[in-house]
Amino acid sequence: MKNKIIVFLCIVFFAGVLASLPLASQKERHDHPDDHDEISQKHTNFIDDEEDEHIGHDSHDDHEDGRDGEHESESVEDDDHEEGELVLTDEQKQAIGIKVEPASSGKLHSELTLTGELMLNEDAVAHIIPRVNGVAVKVNYTFGDTVKKGDVLAVLESAELGESFAEYMVSRKNYERKRKLYEEKIASQNDYLEALNRFEQVIADLYIKLGKEKYLQASEMYEARYMPQTNAQAKALPLTDSLSFVERTTRYEITAPISGTIIEKHITRGEKVGEDVNVFTIGDLNTVWVNLKVPTRDISLIYPGMSVVVESHDSLKTEGKISMISPIVDADTRAATARVVVDNHQGHWMPGAFVTGSIRISDKNLPLVIPRHAVQNFEGKDIVFLADDHGFRQVPVVSGRHDRENVEILSGLQVGQQIVTQGAFELKAILLTSGMDSHAGHGH
């Protein structure tokens, strides 16, 4: 009986527990309604978020599309005119003298640079020495004057010349008389030959002193004075001014044998000069010589006909060719002389000045070579200007070897790119005045 009561109580207990379970669930739901709503709201929000995300994604795409269109528009504008690009009108380009050429491969020339001196062209110099002794009564030109061939530079009064004229007159008159007597069989042949010999000696002396023209003048003077053709002329002879005749026979004119410039003058009015005095030196300065010193180690590198660029210390520059290389080496300098004949019609090259001569002795092909003046130094960097349809953009380059005209480019430029080969300096000046820095125009 006791066991039955225990079983009955257990059944009642478990029944009560089972009956209370739904109530507890409802109570729990009633006590925490927010939790349930929160779960439902979360589910709802999850769905809304997916939709919003999808919608937002579409909006984002639209926004990105708008930005892409704007970026594309900006790119088009950048293509038209990049930041830091110099844009010039056609008139400005023409005024500056812009010249554009493609960068290409080329040659550099190895050069032998020699020192030298400008000299007179000795083949075009005249040293003037009087043929007779005398006193200068006229000096018409001085140092630095330009004269023409035949100009009277000075006049001497010469007793020696007067004596020579007088001797000519006497010896010729004696010869004419002896010849006439010999033809008439009055004088012997020996007398005639003696007179002829003496006259010929006088002619030779006068010819040497005066030259052909002055000798012919003396002959004309003799004939006019001593061999009148008519009675009227004979009557007029005694009236001839003897002083005028003496003056003509004692005056010696110093004339210019060539055209040129007087580079030396050693005569003054009233000075007595002799036959050993160089009274004037005239140089034709239309050409001058450049004598370059060639060390013995370099003699084999040069030959006549090679082109030489001659440059003075004041930046004068010209070009000529080697006309001669001396066959001997100077004992003091141990150098040979290479001579270059330089045109000097403008008168810029002055003999006595020191110069340098650059001789091209070999060439070398390089991948990229451009003119030296196409490279400009801007803010401590070498730059060149690239050209396109819109303007000019400066880019930095690294240069290598160079000669007088061209420079090798190691980096920063490619073969075929259009560069400014003339007018680069003016473009750099525009950069300086516009305030652009060295980064403008190349992606920084």
Question: pLDDT for 215-245, tens place per residue?
Answer: 777 777 777 766 655 445 444 544 445 556 6
For 186, the token pair is 């009055």
Q: Which of 417, 396, 393, 397 is nearest to 407 (CA)?
A: 397
Helical spans, DSSP H, in 184-263:
189-226, 231-236, 242-250
- For 170, phi then psi, to 5°, come to -65, -50
Residue 354: pLDDT above 60? yes
Minimum mean pLDDT among 42-51, 136-145, 170-179, 426-435: which range?
A: 42-51
- CA pair distance 421, 259, nearest whole angstrom: 45
Minimum mean pLDDT among 54-63, 311-320, 349-358: which range?
A: 54-63
Angle (deg, nearest 10), helices 159-183 and 189-226: 120
Q: Residue 83: pLDDT band by 50, 70, 90 thresholds? A: low
Who wins on pLDDT, 159 or 120?
Answer: 120
The percentage of residues in the chain with a pLDDT greater than 70, rounded to a whole number, is 74
Minimum mean pLDDT among 58-62, 151-155, 349-353, 399-403: which range?
A: 58-62
- CA pair distance 353, 118, nearest whole angstrom: 5
For 360, the token pair is 């091209």
**Every domain range in the chain assigned CATH 2.40.50.100:** 127-230+243-281
Residue 33's SS3 state is helix
Residue 61: pLDDT above 50? no
Tokens 């880019």 found at? 395
> Is CATH 2.40.30.170 what the domain over 89-121+285-444 is classified as, yes or no?
yes
Tokens 């259009």 found at? 418
Who wins on pLDDT, 314 or 7?
Answer: 314
For residue 100, the cross-strand partners are 420
Q: Residue 173: pLDDT band by 50, 70, 90 thresholds? A: confident
Supply the pTM of this predicted model.
0.55
**Every domain range in the chain assigned CATH 2.40.30.170:** 89-121+285-444
Fold of 127-230+243-281: OB fold (Dihydrolipoamide Acetyltransferase, E2P) (2.40.50)
Taking residues 154-169, report their average pLDDT: 86
Share the mean pLDDT of the chain.
79
Q: What is the DSSP string of 87-151?
A: ---HHHHHHHT-EEEE-EEEEEEEEEEEEEEEEE-GGGEEEE--SS-EEEEEE---TT-EE-TT-
Q: What is the pLDDT of residues 306-339, one digit of tens each?
A: 999 999 988 899 999 999 999 999 999 899 999 9
**Residue partners of 281: CB distance under 8 A and separation at least 6:** 125, 126, 127, 128, 262, 263, 264, 265
Minimum mean pLDDT among 63-67, 114-118, 321-325, 360-364: which range?
A: 63-67
Q: What is the DSSP string of 225-238?
A: HH--SSHHHHHHGG
- Report the pLDDT value the prediction gives residue 213, as an integer from 0 to 100: 73
Torsion-angle region of 422 (φ positive above 0: left; ψ -120 to 50: alpha; else: beta):
beta
Taking residues 73-97, report their average pLDDT: 68
- CA pair distance 341, 338, nearest whole angstrom: 10
- Report the pLDDT value the prediction gives residue 160, as an integer from 0 to 100: 85
Q: E strands of 2-97, at which residues? A: none
- CA pair distance 167, 178, nearest whole angstrom: 16
- Report the pLDDT value the prediction gives residue 224, as an integer from 0 to 100: 72
Taking residues 373-390, report their average pLDDT: 92
- CA pair distance 273, 266, nearest whole angstrom: 9
Q: How crowded is the C-beta side of 334, counted as CA atoms within 13 Å? A: 3
- CA pair distance 38, 55, nearest whole angstrom: 24
Residue 210: pLDDT above 60? yes
- Report the pLDDT value the prediction gives residue 84, as an integer from 0 to 100: 63
On whether the CB atoms of residues 294 and 338 are closer than 8 A, the answer is yes
Taking residues 156-176, report their average pLDDT: 86
Q: Residue 139: pLDDT band by 50, 70, 90 thresholds? A: very high
Taking residues 110-120, report their average pLDDT: 93
Q: E strands of 232-374, at which residues? A: 251-255, 260-265, 272-273, 280-283, 287-295, 307-312, 317-325, 335-343, 354-371
